[in-house]
Chains A and B, each alone.
Chain A
Amino acid sequence: MKLNAIVSAHKIIGMVATIFIVLLSVTGILLMHTEDLDLAESYIESESVLAIYDIAPDTDPVTYQVNKNYITQLDDRIYFNELQSARHEDKLIGGIYIEGIYIAGFTSSIMLLTDEGEVIETLDQLHGVPAKISAIGKSNNSIIVNADGFMKRTDINMTTWTDTLQTGVSWSEQAQLSDDALDSILKSYIGEGLPLERVILDVHSGRILGTVGVIIVDLAVVLFLVLSISGWMAWYKKRELQKLIDEDEN
């Protein structure tokens, strides 16, 4: 291959590769400093970017009204009114209010919350909470759950659970969240659904454009290889040519 052809090819490949080199370098540097730049904690708000990812909850919200406040579960996120309190994978089955504490019942755990929605503690089977809870209610200051068809009772300390045939239990029932509150929760859900780190990672790998993007990045990497080889070839050819010129001159 002639030197001119190699140099021309090298120039063209170099110009095309520049776009990818800049893109991969910038995103690569950002990813190297994910923690310093808090990229995992920064969330995308741009609707056009969110639309690309089609981020939406997998499940419908489930809400229980508890003493004038609302406890809602949307996927694994637990909201106290419109504030996200925690992430919890168990299914929410109700909520009650006893002695100044909000008690959210889940299928195999119980979450205690303050009146500001802060999680006091989440108790599970390790703490004696029965499994397969399908309903939670209260009777006076007792917490009553229906666990696997059996009613069990405990107090606010939840140190012991006993079988009961208690009547007059006020069971927690599902409620409807207002449209405004639901919008606010959905906005919060989506806002914290897509970390900036993921978008940069997807741009870096080309995945933001799906399979096509990955192929483009693969081709770009091949271009880099060709670029380095053509650079070496041009240098070698030039050196050989210079040697011939020097020999002619001598």
Chain B
Amino acid sequence: MKRNVNYLLFISLCIYAIYPAARGTYQEPEDFLNEVFNNNVPQVEKLWIKGEVRDKVRSVLDHDLGVLRVSYWRKENRTAWILEEIGKSLPITVGIVVNDNKIETVRILIFRESRGWEVRYPFFTDQFSEATLVDNNELDNGIDGISGATLSVRAVTRLTILALYFHQQVSQ
């Protein structure tokens, strides 16, 4: 009996230890930009979310972005975006780099929810590499979901679609 109780205690401690580690800041947005631009971050630029762009955002997210202006950083054909979308109830901060209309990098920077944090792992984010935008707000390559992280997967996928769309807008 005592042995079983100890075993249960050990398992509980392991779970307790894992959960706080799952939430948090994995990489500061500033560090992300420094990394993707080799410590030479370009001047911030702004994209206004209005008119057709606002309609497109609504159709991708099913709601407004919550801001009327988005910051981005551009060097030649590459743009970097720090975007946020709510997974279940709290926003996930994602850093996305688009290079010549293709996804170069997707990285989860800040994860605030208690579930769905598996989206941070490269086995998930690497799926977006080279993805491009096709008609109907879709990515050209299918993204495999993660059991138990459906809402986080959806949030990251939607932000990736937005970043590709925003890149098209600022590249015109």
Of A118, A119, A122, A125, the residue contacting B30 (CB under 8 A) is: A125
Within residues 107 to 153 of chain A, which ones have a CB less than 8 A from any CB in chain B? Answer: 112, 114, 118-123, 125-127
Interface mask (B75-106 → A, CB under 8 Å = 1, otherwise 0): 00000001000001100000000000000000
Q: Is B108 an interface residue (CB 8 A)?
A: no
Flag if A120 contacts B68 (CB, 8 Å): yes
A219→B171 CA distance, assembly (Å): 63
A125→B28 CA distance, assembly (Å): 11
A127→B89 CA distance, assembly (Å): 26
A127→B33 CA distance, assembly (Å): 12
Of B71, B88, B89, the residue contacting A121 (CB under 8 A) is: B71
Flag if A126 contacts B82 (CB, 8 Å): yes
Q: Is B134 an interface residue (CB 8 A)?
A: no
A194→B31 CA distance, assembly (Å): 36
Cβ of B154 to closest chain A Cβ, rounded Å:
10
Q: Is B69 an interface residue (CB 8 A)?
A: yes
Cβ of A35 to closest chain B Cβ, rounded Å:
8
A123→B69 CA distance, assembly (Å): 10
Interface mask (B57-82 → A, CB under 8 Å = 1, otherwise 0): 00000000011111100000000001
Within residues 15 to 67 of chain A, which ones have a CB less than 8 A from any CB in chain B? Answer: 40
A residues less than 8 Å from B69 (CB atoms):
112, 120-121
Q: Is B43 an interface residue (CB 8 A)?
A: yes
Q: Is A201 an interface residue (CB 8 A)?
A: no
How many of chain B's residues touch chain A, expressed as a range?
10 to 19
Q: Is A211 an interface residue (CB 8 A)?
A: no
A residues less than 8 Å from B68 (CB atoms):
114, 118-121
CB-nearest residue of chain A to B66: A119
A54→B76 CA distance, assembly (Å): 55
Flag if B43 contacts A120 (CB, 8 Å): no
Cβ of B79 to closest chain A Cβ, rounded Å:
15
B residues less than 8 Å from A126 (CB atoms):
29-30, 33, 71, 82
Q: Is A159 an interface residue (CB 8 A)?
A: yes
A156→B155 CA distance, assembly (Å): 32
A159→B82 CA distance, assembly (Å): 17
Q: Is A227 an interface residue (CB 8 A)?
A: no
Flag if B67 contacts A127 (CB, 8 Å): no
Binding site for A on B (CB under 8 A): 29-30, 33, 43-44, 46, 66-71, 82, 88-89
**Can you list 18 residue pairs at the A/B interface with Cβ under 8 Å?**
A86-B66, A112-B69, A114-B68, A118-B68, A119-B66, A119-B67, A119-B68, A120-B68, A121-B46, A121-B68, A121-B69, A121-B71, A123-B71, A126-B30, A126-B71, A126-B82, A127-B71, A159-B43
